[in-house]
Structure 1
C-alpha cells in the first residue's frame, strides 16, 4: 500500500474525501500532538552533573595521550 499526502482546499475537502472513499482509499485522521505527553517525557530525562561528565573527559584525555607502539 502506498501512502499519499495531499493538500486539499477547505471548500473541496468533503467532496474529495467522499470520492476517495468510494474508490476504496483509507483516510486516516490527523494525529494531534499531545503536549502533556511531550512534557512528561522531558521530565523523565536524566540530568548529568559535572562530576558525571568528568569521567568522559578523563577517558578522552587518556585516549588522546596514547601513542602508537614502535616496532
Structure 2
C-alpha cells in the first residue's frame, strides 16, 4: 500500500462529505486533517520571507524571493 497526500480546496461541508463517500465507495482508507492550507506546515516562528511567499501563493501570485517550489517547501518544513 502506498500513502500519498492530497489537498482538496473545498467550498463547504457537503463537498467534504462527497469526497468521503467517494473514497469509501472505492474502499480507500483515508484520514481527514484539520490543518488549514499551507499555514499548517509552517513552524511556530516562520520568517517574513516564508510568510510573504505563502500569502502570495494563496493569492495566486506565485513565489517571491524563493528560487523554486522545492526551496519554499524546504523553508516550510525546516
Task: Pick the TM interval, shorter chain.
Answer: 0.3 to 0.5
How high is the TM-score relative to the length of structure 1? 0.35
How high is the TM-score relative to the length of structure 2? 0.32
Over alpha carbons, which structure has the higher Rg? 1
